[in-house]
Structure 1
């Protein structure tokens, strides 16, 4: 059945959905509206994992090959705690620049016949009246969702810590954590490469550290200079970079919705949900949303039935991820509880930060229990009884962050 689709938002979720729908039926009439100029985007690099790339190859091999070729890879995580360092092997991680990701997806969408209209802001009052399906892929601040916030049951919860998303000319060869102690408390960064001469550096600290260091009052160049000094040990002389019009220090907002569709309007990606950046799942979840929605529309000729199936499937899939994200954010908010452990133990618990049991057990005891549970089946059963382990898809991200 030919459908007319208006997708508001030209990020990864909206573009990938348009690609999949056109592959399913070239007769679909699909327009993606993006309020910003083409080629302008926020952020630096995004991360994803081998399992996602394998799934993208199943959906659209051409764009998957292009994404894989444009990505850098790593298999290790390294943590610097003061002058101590520990390194561990992990799953294969991938990093790609957000600009490059959008270039690949937009080029593929155009090739398949999708209309892309940039610098075109569509509000709830301006939606095409003849669209069979309207997709709100316009981010966490979605105007389309806000208009029906009561129906969607939208809830935004702010985290405690402050964070800042920066770039750098340092191309990290591993997913890097660096924790630095100051007179005002700990400050840390997550660093990962996304190109031969580029990396992402997300800086985070508690509110008292942020104000104590004067980061709340410093100009943007002054703040960057201070951070470059604090993280000189991992930056190796490379500068930190702020994107033009980049976001200031902020607190992470966790977004949830009770339902994801209203009439012929459906939420996608960050318009539907957010998960804390420390689990590195944002881009992956957006693309998985697109896959699930395209599949539901292919298998159900009646749009309301398709949207209901999409909502059931994705809300169920998100439950363990959202739980993991909450506990991961809490781990960093409770950093003083773990930071003075021997580095290999601290890093092991960093990898276990998704566990609902960890906040309630003394860290040293949890570490010993976790080590023993890996060797003895009775203790594995005991640990499962005390608290459910995070789903496998989330556990694979134990040495990563950033999206």
Structure 2
């Protein structure tokens, strides 16, 4: 089988690794339009479940990824001059550049050809048995057949910007700052010994009120550094420095497709779907797409069966994630509903932002109900744990009384 992966991001590279491991005779080329070593973004996040799956699929690349990652197991929220810290699930951060480097080196070691600075458009699609569109949310191959795929793109309300910083956060950090034009907030996480990612977001009225819609990148960074000085500890923010000097603010686009395949062309990662960045799942979902597609090709062989099986599996897996992402984005878009709560309550509901009930229940009532449910569950776990012990004690006493 000859395979052409269009796009040298995590999805395309990891798929090439898995397909080569399955069958070294496969002729696989990854086509990337950018130069080798160039990428956008700073660090990406993932969780223990993904690392376990990576180890099961390719232990060598998983080991390199784990060694290059930093981890945390706490979350911190700053609201005005108040702060609260909570224990949470263990999370990991790795630089996007380092992740791509690891996957590219592993792919090459298996015999995959990597062609950089090679842009694929509708006019030069490679001749291959399988063409994988892993070329992101603006996929040229998907756009060529947008009517067939049923592509739908919906823009979110808030503006955001993806930045780096020399401040190394020791926990997943949230900071909410009130300005005369409304609230602005950031979330930050470490991804290396001297770097963190810092995503800044705000509502449209705050964005224009602060003049961020008109500010150069240098002026925008200076303002944001002042607003978030208390969490940056004097460290600077680092932008992407676009050629025209503007700050690359975006509104998140949720992309879906009615179908993910057409003949021998199949969509992978952001070309097929996007989920709001606030749940930190984009890279995880892309890698899981690659696992599912490789598995379908191994199990079915024939594309006419493998591609529908891949799509069916991933659609089912994405349903709860897409729902969580939708409600998470809405939580931030409705921030005034929660921000005046005491910090510990606000942070608790921040952790519950994926809930479909939260938008419809008064926040303080939801918090009380959630705490009550948590206590009930703790009691249930205690009863399950005590049950065998109580039964054994009662049995022992019964035996003693019979003697």
**TM-score, L = length of structure 1:** 0.92
Residue 64 of structure 1 corresponds to 62
Q: 2:211 aligns with which of 205, 210, 214?
A: 214
Q: 1:188 aligns with which of 185, 188, 194?
A: 185
Does 2:139 match 1:123?
A: no
Distance in 2, matches of 1:127 and 1:218, equals: 40
After TM superposition, list the pairs within 5 Å mapping 1:1-400 onto structure 2: 3-129=1-127, 131-245=128-242, 248-376=248-376
Q: Which runs of 5+ in 2 are unaligned?
A: 381-403
Aligned residue for 1:42, secondary structure, equals coil
Aligned residue for 1:375, secondary structure, equals helix
Task: Please say if residues 217 and 241 of structure 2, whose CA atoms lie closer than 8 Å, have aligned partners that are also in contact.
Answer: no
Distance in 2, matches of 1:269 and 1:301, equals: 21
Distance in 2, matches of 1:306 and 1:212, equals: 51
| Further displaced range: 365-374 or 167-176 | 365-374
Deviation, 1:244, is 3.8
**TM-score, L = length of structure 2:** 0.92
Distance in 1, matches of 2:96 and 2:242, equals: 16
Residue 398 of structure 2 corresponds to none
> Between Structure 1 and Structure 2, whose CA radius of gyration is higher?
2
Task: Please say if residues 18 and 291 of structure 2, whose CA atoms lie closer than 8 Å, have aligned partners that are also in contact.
Answer: yes
CA RMSD for the aligned pairs? 1.2
Residue 386 of structure 1 corresponds to none
Q: Which runs of 5+ in 1 are unaligned?
A: 381-403
Deviation, 1:375, is 2.7
Q: Deviations over 1:289-344 (max 9, x none)?
A: 00000000001121110001000000010000000000000000000000000000
Aligned positions, number = 376
| Further displaced range: 154-163 or 365-374 | 365-374
Aligned residue for 2:312, secondary structure, equals helix
Distance in 2, matches of 1:355 and 1:258, equals: 25
